[in-house]
Amino acid sequence: MAKSKYEYVKQFERDYFLIPNTWLVIRIDGRGFHQFSDRHQFEKPNDRRALDLMNKCAEAVMIEIHDIILAYGQSDEFSFILKKECNLYGRREAKIISTIVSLFTSNYVFHWKKYFPDKELHYPPSFDGRAVQYPSDNNLRDYLSWRQADCHINNLYNTCFWALVHSGKTEAEAENTLRGTSSSDKNELLYSSFNINYNDLPEMYRKGSILIKQEVDFKALNQNEVEVIRKKNVVMITNVDIIRNKFWEEHPELKL
Ligand code: ATP
Ligand code: ATP
Ligand code: MG
Ligand code: MG
Ligand code: MG
Ligand code: MG
């Protein structure tokens, strides 16, 4: 096609190419979900349906983007890990982030009704996204440990906060009660005042969700209508500890 005289404006575009041979982490996070969760009356501290919807969106992203080997989610955020060799969009940062964040967001709206059949979506949710590059396997392990530790710290705090509020304290009073308390103080408060053993709460709330791909066999018919075994990737969800070595030893295919 002949070029128009306007074509030169293309030269003003700039691309950032992510460094080759580094782990890529794309983290997306709900924009203003404090308000969004209020407006849609999420159960506090953890609305199971909202977490399941987040996991569903992450699964859809993982199936669509083949280079993602693992995803970790908690609250209104998800981290997608792309393998070092990933050459998606020639590693153009803006293309990778925007594709993942928009896929995730459209799935959130698309699947909303399935997870909240009795709740209208009052306004369109949005997510932000960023990319981080990690040169070593150790850095990536530490990144994931950081997110899971954050999940634990926030969940312990939020469990105490909402137990206090549900018992009749105002939000300001609950905040004051918790100011300066240690992790063992919080465990003790839950146990002595509310008879809650923190470690008995669902693992999904305490540890977040880990999504990995697993190859499974399935039966299909070939051109001659003969049954054959084919392989496909399915996404598995677990809520285990990923800070210690056990999970990684059980998944050598992740090469971490
Ligand atoms: P920002 O736009 O800066 O990310 P934010 O309001 O989304 O602001 P976050 O720090 O991301 O702030 O926190 C997300 C908030 O969303 C949590 O504090 C919590 O109130 C709420 N939230 C997210 N998921 C759930 C859930 N499954 N159940 C209950 N509340 C949730
Ligand atoms: P990429 O993912 O690289 O953007 P693409 O298939 O989206 O690939 P584009 O160059 O963005 O390629 O072109 C979008 C195509 O979508 C158009 O060529 C056209 O075929 C189709 N399309 C978009 N909008 C319309 C429309 N309103 N009516 C009919 N076709 C449309
Ligand atoms: Mg944020
Ligand atoms: Mg947020
Ligand atoms: Mg968040
Ligand atoms: Mg296009």
Domain annotation covers residue 107:
yes
Distance of CA 14 from the midpoint of ligand 5 (Å) = 29
Q: Measured from the CB, is residue 37 less than 6 Å from ligand 1? A: yes
**At 47, is the secondary structure helix, strand, or coil?**
coil
Counted domains in the chain: 1
**Domain annotation covers residue 254:** no
What is the CA(235)–ligand 3 centre distance, in A? 26
**Most ligand 1 atoms within 8 A of CB, residue of 27, 35, 36, 37 to mutate:** 37
Which domain, by its residues, includes 130?
16-151+203-209
164 within domain boundaries: no
SS3 call for 37:
helix
- The answer to the question of residue 242 being in a domain is no
- The pLDDT tens digits of the residues spanning 120-131 come to 999 999 999 999
Mutate which of 29, 34, 153 for ligand 1? The one with the most ligand atoms within 8 Å of its CB, which is 34
The pLDDT confidence band at residue 82, using thresholds 50, 70 and 90, is very high
> Is this prediction's pTM over 0.80?
yes
Annotated binding-site residues for GTP read 29-34, 75-76
Instruction: Give the pLDDT confidence score for residue 88 in this predicted structure.
Output: 98
Whether the predicted interface score ipTM is above 0.90: yes
Q: Is 178 left (phi over 0), alpha (psi -120 to 50) or beta?
A: alpha
Inside any domain, residue 172: no
Percent of the chain residues past pLDDT 90, beyond the cut: 97
d(CA 18, CA 250): 30
Residue 1 has pLDDT above 80, yes or no: no
Q: What is the pLDDT of residues 132-188, one digit of tens each?
A: 999 999 999 999 999 999 999 999 999 999 999 999 999 999 999 999 999 999 999
Q: What is the CATH number of the domain that holds 135?
A: 3.30.70.3000
Residues with CB under 5 A from ligand 3 (ion): 29
* Cα(160) to centroid(ligand 5), Å: 19
Question: Tokens 């959130």 correspond to what residue?
Answer: 108
**Predicted local distance difference test score (pLDDT) of residue 2:** 80
